[in-house]
Amino acid sequence: MNQFKKYYEFMKSSEGSFKQKVLRSGLWLVLGSMILRLMELLRSIILARLLLPDVFGVMGIVNLLRQGIQQFSQTSFGDAIIYRKSEIEESINTAWVLNIIRGLLLCLLLFSISPLIASFYGEDILNIGLKILGVVFILDSLNNPNMILFRKNLNLRKNTILNLSTNLLGIVIVIVLAYYLRNVWALLIGIVFTGFSQMGLSYWIAGKMPKFSFHPKLAWELFHYGKYITGLGILVFLTIRLDDMLIGKVLGMKELGFYINAYFFANLPATHITSVLSQLVFPSYSHYNQDQEKLNRLFLKVFRVVSIVTIPASFGILALSDEIASVLLGEIWRPMIPALKILVFFGLFRAVAACTGPLLNAMGKPKIVFWILFWKLIVIATIIYPLTSRYGISGTAIAVTLPMVLEQFYLWFLISGLTAISIRTLIGLVIRPFFMAVFMYFLIMLLKTILPLTNIPLFFFYVLAGMLFYGAGILIFDKELISDIKNLKTDKKQNAVNAK
């Protein structure tokens, strides 16, 4: 009981050393991401049983426009404020004013272009849906900017609470509306409700009101800092969302609905990992960017953890891909299975990218990352249309997965040349998780022949069985990992003694 109270006080606190703040922030991010991924999983399963695939396709275009416009107009003011050492409050107030102006302009833009987008895709509902999205942009711009202070101070508890609260409220209202309406209006009303909830809760949680004040000099500095981050963000967006743009136009909303759910399930591990690493890895790498040896050790630890978690999770999804479509979602979703099996490997290498790309940024080489992403986009843009036209959403999956795999292997060789980390070392970190994941895959496939997977409780039994198979493999074959865990416990005890 005392131990539980100790952990509770640690998680609740906002004080401590840099390492303690990083650890606490990491734990909050992991906890929040796990709960959020579980909520999203349940949401997807329930909505797939209530709504038709073409509804997901229409909403996919709305979300695509939302993310695209956000990314192309992204100011990265939050990162700039985190970076700043002075005039923090004035910068926050200036950023808030600029965000409100941005929200109003984006709303006017969407009201103007919505008829054109609806005509392009041949879906009248998009005309109304995009106007509703314009209102959401205004709500987003009114969020309390003081929430950024919690990220700046590595106190992510309140940010996690805000994200979980708004998503939980949004998911509940969407499911209720989908049950009664059975159409895309349930999802459109849901995003407005979520935006309004997030805005209101941000003021309640932040506990501090912004001021409507503007400083031109600070505005210029905020824009100047964020422009490079925005450029990289645009390239990332295009490389991972070009597929949705094309499918919606070439194959239609129904096929896009199949593809969106295939992408969602294939990327569950990657989405969880990137949501955590994107906020922690770069600041942690940057802390050691003057000591290459320590930076290398940290990178290898992160790379190893990502491999140990992502590889078995991806092979588990591969083994259960047929049942994800037919048992979890319903027989109507079977056409997504081939694309799902291909996109599993996209998700696997996407998770690996979350720890390789930031290493180059921390070493002061963001241009390398920019040009790698640029040429990857060129390759995807070249092959995606012919493959999609010929093979449908499976061709689209190949078009985005192949460049992702090639990019990561190229990054391995690049990292090897820039650091003292050899290719053999990187392969050594993934080889054991790979073979244990393959072993787990065949055990699951064998188990399915003995006990056919025909209902949802059995599905989650298989998930648990896969975790046990893989865990047993680690205990038997990965003595080095077990030793590291024991050493971690020893280090904690020693730190406690030193603290006394």
- DSSP-derived secondary structure for 37-73: HHHHHHHHHHHHHHS-HHHHHHHHHHHHHHHHHHHHT
157 and 211 in a single domain? The answer is yes
Q: What confidence score (pLDDT) does residue 208 get?
A: 84
- Of the three residues 228, 251, 272, the one that is the final residue of a domain is 228
Q: Assign 4 a pLDDT band (cuts: 50, 70, 90).
A: low
Between 500 and 161, name the one with better pLDDT.
161
The CA distances from residue 10 to 4, 5, 156, 355, in Å, are 10, 9, 13, 27
Q: What confidence score (pLDDT) does residue 488 get?
A: 42
Say if CB 62 and CB 129 are below 8 A apart. yes
Q: What confidence score (pLDDT) does residue 355 get?
A: 81
45 and 182 in a single domain? The answer is yes
Q: By mean pLDDT, which of 54-58, 309-313, 341-345, 367-371 is the weakest?
A: 367-371
Say if CB 393 and CB 336 are below 8 A apart. yes
Within a domain: residue 388?
Answer: no
pLDDT, mean over the chain: 83
> Does residue 172 have a pLDDT over 60?
yes
The secondary structure of residue 335, as a DSSP letter, is G
Q: What confidence score (pLDDT) does residue 499 get?
A: 40
Within a domain: residue 386?
Answer: no
Q: What confidence score (pLDDT) does residue 494 get?
A: 43
Q: By mean pLDDT, which of 146-160, 169-183, 195-209, 486-500 is the weakest?
A: 486-500
Say if CB 336 and CB 392 are below 8 A apart. no
pLDDT digits (tens, 9 = 90+) for 25-71: 667 777 777 788 788 888 988 999 999 899 999 998 998 888 888 77
Residue 8 is encoded by which pair of tokens? Answer: 């509770």
Within a domain: residue 12?
Answer: no
194 and 135 in a single domain? The answer is yes
For residue 118, how far is the Cα from the chain centroid?
28
Residue 128 half-sphere exposure toward CB, CA atoms < 13 A: 7
Residues 33/39/40/43 CA torsion (nearest 10 deg): 180
Q: What confidence score (pLDDT) does residue 239 get?
A: 79
Q: Assign 445 a pLDDT band (cuts: 50, 70, 90).
A: very high
Question: Residues for the chain: how many in total?
Answer: 500
The CA distances from residue 74 to 9, 84, 98, 371, in Å, are 37, 18, 11, 20
Cβ–Cβ contacts within 10 Å for residue 221, how many?
16
Q: What confidence score (pLDDT) does residue 490 get?
A: 44
54 and 167 in a single domain? The answer is yes
Q: Assign 229 a pLDDT band (cuts: 50, 70, 90).
A: low
> Does residue 3 have a pLDDT over 80?
no
Average pLDDT over residues 412-435: 88
205 and 283 in a single domain? The answer is no
Say if CB 381 and CB 399 are below 8 A apart. no
Average pLDDT over residues 75-84: 66
Q: What confidence score (pLDDT) does residue 148 get?
A: 79
193 and 84 in a single domain? The answer is yes
Domains in the chain, number = 2
Select, from the ranges 75-89, 134-148, 261-275, the one with the highest average predicted confidence (pLDDT): 134-148
Cβ neighbours of residue 345 closer than 8 Å, sequence gap 6 or more: 314, 401, 405
Say if CB 273 and CB 355 are below 8 A apart. no
Q: How far apart are CA 210 and CA 208, in angstroms?
A: 7
Average pLDDT over residues 290-305: 84
Between 303 and 338, name the one with better pLDDT.
338
Question: H helices of 122-215, where?
Answer: 125-141, 148-152, 157-181, 185-206
With 0-12 CB in 10 A as exposed, 13-18 as middle and 19+ as buried, what is 128? middle
Cβ–Cβ contacts within 10 Å for residue 3, how many?
7
Between 480 and 173, name the one with better pLDDT.
173
Q: What percent of the chain has pLDDT over 90?
A: 36
Residue 403 is encoded by which pair of tokens? Answer: 């460049």
Q: What confidence score (pLDDT) does residue 153 get?
A: 67
Within a domain: residue 252?
Answer: no
Say if CB 304 and CB 335 are below 8 A apart. no
Q: How far apart are CA 159 and CA 205, in angstroms?
A: 9
Unique residue bearing structure tokens 């459109």: 188
37 and 168 in a single domain? The answer is yes
Between 381 and 469, name the one with better pLDDT.
381
267 and 222 in a single domain? The answer is no
Residue 446 is encoded by which pair of tokens? Answer: 């064998």
> Does residue 392 have a pLDDT over 90?
yes
Among the listed residues 482, 483, 470, 472, the one whose alpha carbon sits nearest the alpha carbon of residue 434: 470
98 and 218 in a single domain? The answer is yes
> Does residue 187 have a pLDDT over 70?
yes
Q: How far apart are CA 260 and CA 104, in angstroms?
A: 29
Q: Assign 89 a pLDDT band (cuts: 50, 70, 90).
A: confident
267 and 224 in a single domain? The answer is no
Select, from the ranges 61-75, 149-163, 227-241, 385-399, the one with the highest average predicted confidence (pLDDT): 385-399
Within a domain: residue 392?
Answer: no
Cβ neighbours of residue 354 closer than 8 Å, sequence gap 6 or more: 270, 273, 274, 277, 278, 281, 306
Q: What confidence score (pLDDT) does residue 497 get?
A: 39
Q: Assign 475 a pLDDT band (cuts: 50, 70, 90).
A: confident
Residue 498 is encoded by which pair of tokens? Answer: 């030193």
Say if CB 441 and CB 315 are below 8 A apart. yes
Domain residues for the domain of 419 are: 262-339+348-364+404-500
Within a domain: residue 369?
Answer: no
Unique residue bearing structure tokens 């038997």: 476
Q: Assign 174 a pLDDT band (cuts: 50, 70, 90).
A: very high
Q: How far apart are CA 40 and CA 57, in angstroms?
A: 17
137 and 267 in a single domain? The answer is no
Among the listed residues 135, 368, 99, the one whose alpha carbon sits nearest the alpha carbon of residue 226: 99
Within a domain: residue 124?
Answer: yes
The secondary structure of residue 452, as a DSSP letter, is -
What is the 3-state composition of the chain as percent helix, strand, coil, each rounded to the nearest 5? 90, 0, 10
Within a domain: residue 478?
Answer: yes
* pTM assigned to the model: 0.77
167 and 276 in a single domain? The answer is no
